[in-house]
Amino acid sequence: MKRSKHIIIFTIFVLLLYFLYDDGLGAIPFLLAALYLGWIVIKELQSLRKSKRM
């Protein structure tokens, strides 16, 4: 489920990029993707820290 959720979200980002790029709004999907990837990194680092404590 986790991998399919990520694939769906990135598919939405690609579709947004495709439809918004001609209107000059192509930076919006890239910004959303960067925020989403940053959130994933933070969650993975938190789980890594918790696993090293035990």
Q: What is the pLDDT of residues 6-38, one digit of tens each?
A: 899 889 988 988 888 888 888 888 888 899 999
Provide the residue ranges of all domains of the chain, joining segments of one domain with +: 2-53
Tokens representing 42 are 């933070």
SS3 8: helix
Confidence of residue 51 (pLDDT cuts 50, 70, 90): confident
**Predicted TM-score (pTM) of this structure:** 0.72
- Give Cα separations from 53 to 41, 44, 45 (angstroms): 19, 15, 13
